[in-house]
Structure 1
Amino acid sequence: MRDLTNEQIGLIASKVMEINRKQHEAQEKQEKDRRLRNTKLLLRNYHSFKKYIARTKMDLWEDEGVSEIRTLVLNGEDLVKSIKESTQRTLVMIRHLDRALEALRFICKQEESNKSSAKQYRILRARFLDGESIETIAERECINERSVYKSIDAAAERLSILLFGVYGIEIN
């Protein structure tokens, strides 16, 4: 077996470090993409979640309601508990999303010198909360449809930071 020279060891070490750095960067990008995708999913389903919460009466899940549902389900306790927890998580997430949207609106309003940030928020709101089509938004804002998508992406990235906190930003 042949001994490696210091130069060869240095070359191997630098190659390993480069591979490790690239893997780390790829992992960070994947995480950022996942957060952005999740933010957009929350926005796309915002109205459905709001309707679900409005129609779900938490008192239905209190003792009387639980016992009625238990009679319908063989292993009712686990299922009822799971349904109740899912409903509560949805409620908490929507409240969190509402607060993040309000914070984003406030931040964009404060950035008067940066007109694009207010426009991005306006476009995000029009698309997901007001349910306007991409074509309608593009016409009203006097921009092309591709610019609407870019504005939505930019605003959703900012919203992701507010939703996911420090995990929503890229730290270099």
Structure 2
Amino acid sequence: MSTEEVKVLVKEVVKEIKREEETKKKKGAYHNTRLLMKNYNDLKLHYEKAKSEVKDIDDGTINLKDIDEDVLYILSIKRSRIKTLIMISHIDVALKALKEKQRNVGTIEKYKALELYYIKNNTYEKIAEKLNCSVISVRRWINDMIKEMSVFLFGIEALKI
């Protein structure tokens, strides 16, 4: 194999690797959006119920000698709680924008399908019944909404092809 042939081959391999990486990023945004929506209610519950103050958990068994370790633990919980709140806020903003977009284009039922499935925990069958459509339509609408929502959550990373 000549040097020129090797260079051409290396360029093709590099192009293919870049294409695969971009495809993974795009799929990653979609996957992460679906995962966030699947766990949305649990994230909200975690934020609302997490104990983040020593006084919230002090049952008289905290030893003052161990307070540094306890404080670090509580700080860790607070940090987790704050990160959860930030993510919930991002999701709420994305949901609001997605709802408004669907209202503007006249396909609010797509958004309703997403809301009924992920937030209200309805089955595809129940959603189809409520929206007077087929289960296949419900699945397609939810997938469409997840793709659109991934752009609101992950920006350009969700658009890379």
The residue number in structure 2 matching 1:95 is: 89
Instruction: Return the structure number with greater relative CO, CA threshold 8 A, min gap 6.
Output: 2
**Secondary structure in structure 1 of the residue aligned to 2:155:** helix
The residue number in structure 2 matching 1:17 is: 11
The answer to whether the Cα contact below 8 Å between 2:43 and 2:88 also exists between their aligned partners in 1 is yes
- Give the TM-score taking structure 1 as reference length: 0.77
The residue number in structure 2 matching 1:42 is: 36
Tell me, which stretches of 5 or more residues in structure 1 are unaligned?
Answer: none
Shift of 1:98: 0.4
- Give the TM-score taking structure 2 as reference length: 0.81
The residue number in structure 2 matching 1:169 is: 159
Amino acid in the other structure paired with 1:122: K
Is 1:30 aligned to residue 20 of structure 2? no
The residue number in structure 1 matching 2:124 is: 134
Shift of 1:148: 2.6
Shift of 1:71: 2.5
How big is the alpha-carbon RMSD for the aligned residues of Structure 1 and Structure 2? 2.7
Distance 2:133 2:47 in 1: 36
Distance 2:5 2:128 in 1: 53
Shift of 1:162: 0.3
**Secondary structure in structure 1 of the residue aligned to 2:128:** helix
Amino acid in the other structure paired with 1:20: V
The answer to whether the Cα contact below 8 Å between 2:25 and 2:160 also exists between their aligned partners in 1 is no
Aligned residue pair count: 156
Shift of 1:161: 0.8
Amino acid in the other structure paired with 1:85: R
Tell me, which stretches of 5 or more residues in structure 2 are unaligned?
Answer: none
Aligned sequence identity (%):
26
Shift of 1:67: 9.3
